[in-house]
Amino acid sequence: MHDVISPVTEEVVATVPSLSVEETDAAIEKAHQAFQAWRTVAPGDRARLLRRFATLVDEHNEELARLEVRNSGHTIGNARWEAGNVRDVLNYYAGAPERLSGRQIPVAGGMDVTFYEPLGVVGVIVPWNFPMPIAGWGFAPALAAGNTVVLKPAELTPLTALRLADLALQAGLPEGVLTVLPGKGSVVGERFVTHPLVRKVCFTGSTEVGKRIMAGCAQQVKRVTLELGGKSANIVFADADLAKAAAGAPGAVFDNAGQDCCARSRLLIQASVYDEFMGLLEESVKAFRCEDPALETAQMGPLISSGQLASVRSYVQDVAFTGSAPDGPGYWMAPTVIEASSVQDRHWREEIFGPVLSVLRFEDEADAIRLANDTEYGLSGSIWTGDLGRGIRVARGVEAGNLSVNSNSSVRYWTPFGGVKQSGLGRELGPDAVAAFSEVKNVFFSTEV
C-alpha cells in the first residue's frame, strides 16, 4: 500500500495499492482478452460509449476537481478546467470511430484498399503534474481506435485516475477496456515496456526516463510516444504590447507552481525595453496570488512534494524579485524571478520544474532566435510582437513543437501537441492522434480473369 500525501497540508489523504509484477501481468492479460471483443464493437456503439463516459465526467466535474485539489494542490479553477478537458477530449475522439476510414488506391490489375487496425493493449504512463488531462490525451484516442488501455498514474497523484476508471465502468465500457494500475514506475511502468502484449507505450515525464523507455521498447520494436521535458522561451520584442505581455508572463511560468513542461521559464526581453518591461513584470509577479488552492481567487498552489521543493530551491540565487506565498504546512514557494548573468547559468539551462523565471536580454531578431534555440529542449514557447512578418519569421525559426504569437497558450485538443529535440517523439491530440494508435493494413484484390 502507498500513502498519498496532500501537498497543501502534508497530511495523508488516501492509501492506495501499489501493484506487483504479477498483478500487473494479470491486468495486461485481462486487457488483451478484452481487446478481442472491444475491437469488434460497432463504430457507432463505441462512439456512444465514449460520449456516455464524457457525460459522466462532466456530471462529476466538481468532485474530480476537488479531488485534484486535495491530491495535487492544483487551484480549483485549474482543476475544473482539467476535468473539463477530459470531457472535451472524450467527446472529440468519440467522433473518430465512425470516421476512421482508409483509402482506395489506384493500382493495375485490381483494387487496393487500406484499413486502420487497432494495435492491441496500449500502456499509458501519466506524470504527477497534470494527472487528469494527460491521462485523457492517452486513453481517449486509443479507445476510439479500438485498443484497450492499461494506465499507470504517478505514485504521488493516483486519485483522479482511479475515479475516472470507475466512471468508465459506469458508462458501460467493458471490464478490462480501461484499467488503472497504481504502483511504482520501476514495477508497473517497467512492465508496460517489457510485456509483449503491450503494443505501444505513451509516456509523459522526464527526458532521462523517456530515454530508458525508448531503449526498452526498441527491444520489441514497440511503438512509443514520448512527451518529455522543456525549457521554453518567452520572447518579448520592443514593438510588442508590453503591458499585455508582462501581465501574461507570470501565468505562463508560475501556473501549476511552474510544474509544467510547457512553462515559459526563459524570458527573453529586447534590450531597448528591458528596464521598462522588468518594471511591469515585477508588478505582475507581486500581484500573482499563491494561496490555498481551494480558494476561488488562487492562481498558484504549492509544489507537489518536499523533494520537489528542495530541488527547486537549489536553483535560486541572485534573485531580482519575488511574489509571496503562505507560511505553515505545505510545500510552498513564492514566484521567483532571477536575472541570468550568462547562458551558462544553471537556472537558465536546466528544467527546474518550479516557480522560477530566468530573464535575459537580447539585441535583435537573429539574437532572439539564437538564444531561444540554445537548448536541448524544444517543446513550446511564445513570441510577442506587433509585426506580423516578424511573428511568422521567428515562429519558423524557433525550434519547438508548439508556439504561440501574442499568446501563452500551448494546448488545444483540436491541434497536435508534442516536442522536438529532447522534448519528445511523436504527437498527441489533434485530428491525427487516432491514427497514431492504429496500424495501416494494405489489402489488394485481384480483378484479373
Q: What is the pLDDT of residues 228-247, one digit of tens each?
A: 999 999 999 999 999 999 99
Mean pLDDT, residues 132-158: 98
User: What pLDDT, on the 0 to 100 scale, is given for residue 93?
Assistant: 98
In the predicted model, what is the mean pLDDT of residues 379-396? Answer: 98
* Average pLDDT score over residue span 168-189: 98
CA distances from 326 to 289, 331, 333, 335 (A): 10, 9, 8, 12
Evaluate if residue 430 carries a pLDDT over 90.
yes
The yes-or-no verdict on residue 439 having pLDDT over 90 is yes
Taking the C-alpha atoms of residue 143 and residue 410, their distance in angstroms, rounded to an integer, is: 24
Q: Does an H or E element contain 403, and which?
A: none
Tens-digit pLDDT profile for residues 60-109: 999 999 999 999 999 999 999 999 999 999 999 999 999 999 999 999 99
The mean pLDDT value for 242-253 works out to 98
Q: Which residues pair with 252 in a beta bridge?
A: none
Q: Give dist(CA 185, CA 41) in Å, integer.
A: 32
Indicate whether 449 pLDDT > 90.
no
Distance between CA atoms of residues 303 and 333, nearest Å: 7
Structure confidence at residue 328 (pLDDT) = 86
Q: What is the mean pLDDT of residues 134-153?
A: 98
Non-local (6+) Cβ contacts of 186 within 8 A are none
Q: Tell me the sheet residues that pair with 261.
A: none
Cα separation, 99 vs 404, whole angstroms: 30
Residue 349 pLDDT level (bands cut at 50, 70, 90): very high
Return the pLDDT at 404.
98
Q: Hey, what amino acid is at 197?
A: L
Cell triple for 315 = 536553483
C-alpha to C-alpha distance for 281 and 254, rounded to whole angstroms: 13
What backbone torsions phi and psi does residue 291 show, to the nearest 5 degrees?
Answer: -160, 180
Q: Band of the pLDDT at 361, cuts 50, 70, 90? A: very high
List, by residue number, the catalytic residues.
Answer: 227, 261
Alpha helices in 13-75 (DSSP H): 21-38, 43-59, 61-72
Residue 124's pLDDT band (boundaries 50, 70, 90)? very high
Using a 10 angstrom Cβ sphere, with 0-12 exposed, 13-18 middle and 19 or more buried, the burial of residue 373 is middle
Q: Single out the residue of 266, 317, 257 nearest to residue 293, CA to CA.
A: 257
**Is residue 36 pLDDT above 90, yes or no?**
yes
User: Mind listing the pLDDT tens digit for each residue in 303-341?
Assistant: 999 999 999 999 999 899 999 999 989 999 999 999 999
The DSSP string of 133-149 is: HHHHHHHHHHHHTT-EE
Contacts of 225 (CB under 8 A, 6+ apart): 200, 201, 202, 203, 418, 424, 425, 426, 427, 428, 436
Whether the CB-CB separation of 133 and 413 falls below 8 Å is answered with no
Average pLDDT of the residues of the chain:
97
pTM: 0.97
Contacts 24+ apart (CB under 8 A), 214-221: 214/425, 216/190, 217/193, 219/194, 220/194, 220/196
Percent of the chain with pLDDT over 90: 99
